């Protein structure tokens, strides 16, 4: 499992962890030469996304979430429905979506709405 860790505030920066091992870590101050920059560590996030070859649209999701809520991070929990196994594949995700458990589904560069 790959995790993108983002810290804003003291020691602002971004880290990529895969299967419990740190793949890359970048401190925002090293990139912008400012102590305690406000908001999300956008330069660190972009650098980590590039180093780890992660789709940059993930950064846009984080930025949009921050704009809407004022919270500069996302918590990713398991994608499962009551009494259903955990979603592990795109097929599982589409099946859950079609059963009406979700309002929106995004996979890669595609997104669909289930709102009527």
Q: What is the pLDDT of residue 77?
A: 53
Q: What are the CA-CA distances from residue 4 to residues 12, 19, 74, 104, 115 (Å)?
A: 13, 12, 10, 22, 30
For residue 3, pLDDT beyond 60: yes
The pLDDT, as a whole number, for residue 72 is 66
- The more confident residue out of 58 and 7 is 7
64 CA to centre of own chain = 11
Q: What pTM value is reported for the model?
A: 0.49
């Amino acid at each position: 499992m790959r995790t993108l860790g983002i810290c804003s505030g003291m020691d602002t920066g971004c880290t990529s962890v895969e299967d419990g091992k740190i793949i890359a870590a970048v401190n925002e101050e090293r990139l912008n030469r400012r102590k305690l920059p406000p908001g999300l560590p956008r330069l660190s996030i972009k650098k980590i996304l590039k180093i780890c070859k992660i789709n940059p649209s993930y950064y846009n999701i984080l930025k949009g979430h921050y704009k809407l809520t004022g919270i500069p991070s996302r918590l990713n929990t398991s994608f499962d429905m009551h009494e259903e196994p955990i979603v592990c594949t795109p097929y599982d995700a589409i099946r859950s979506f079609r059963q009406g458990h979700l309002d929106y589904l995004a996979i890669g560069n595609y997104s669909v709405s289930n709102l009527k």
